[in-house]
Amino acid sequence: MKKYGALLLIGAITMVLVACSSDEEATPTVVPTSQPKPTQAPATTDAVASTIVDIAVEDGRFGTLVTALQAAGLVDTLAGDGPFTVFAPTDDAFAALGDGVVAGLLEDIPALTDVLTYHVVSGAVLA
C-alpha cells in the first residue's frame, strides 16, 4: 500500500509539473503546484539569505512539505550550497492524495526521501 501511495504521489506531482510553465527565474526557486509561476525568494536585508525551507514556511502553503523535509532530514541539505530548484507541492496537493498516503510516507523515511529528492534539481531551473 505504501508503494502505491508513493507512486500515486509521484504521478500526481508529475502531472502538475507538466502543466506548469513560467518565464521567471529565481535562486532558490520554490515552484508551488497550485501556481504556474515560481515563488521568488524574498529580498533580504540580513547578511544571511533565506533558505528554501524558510521561504516555504513564510509562504504558509507548504506546511506538509516542510514537515516531510524535516522528517526526511533534508532541511540542512537544502540550506547548503545551491542553488536548488524545488518543485514544491502545496498542502492542498498533499490533501488531494487521499487518506493515509502522507502518513504512510512519513512512516517510511527511505520512500519519503526518494519522493522528496525527485522534486529537487540542482541549479536555477525554469519550469
Q: Where are the domains of the chain?
A: 2-42+49-122
pTM above 0.85, yes or no: no
pLDDT digits (tens, 9 = 90+) for 6-46: 555 565 555 544 455 444 444 444 544 444 444 454 444 44
Pair 61, 34: CB distance under 8 Å:
yes
In degrees and rounded to multiples of 5, residue 36 shows phi and psi of: -80, -20
The stretch 82-98 carries a mean pLDDT of 90
pLDDT digits (tens, 9 = 90+) for 110-120: 999 999 999 88
The contacts found for 109-113 with CB under 8 angstroms, 24 or more apart, are 109/71, 109/72, 109/73, 111/2, 111/3, 111/6, 112/68, 112/71, 112/72, 113/72, 113/73, 113/74
How many Å apart are CA 66 and CA 125, to the nearest integer?
A: 21
Q: What is the mean pLDDT of the chain?
A: 75
Nine-digit cell at 62?
507548504
Give the pairing type, strands 39-40 and 84-88.
unpaired
**Among the CATH numbers 2.10.260.10, 2.30.180.10, 3.90.1530.10, 3.60.15.10, which is that of 2-42+49-122?**
2.30.180.10
Answer yes or no: is pLDDT of 98 > 90.
no
**Strand order of the sheet with strand 39-40?**
39-40, 29-32, 84-88, 120-122
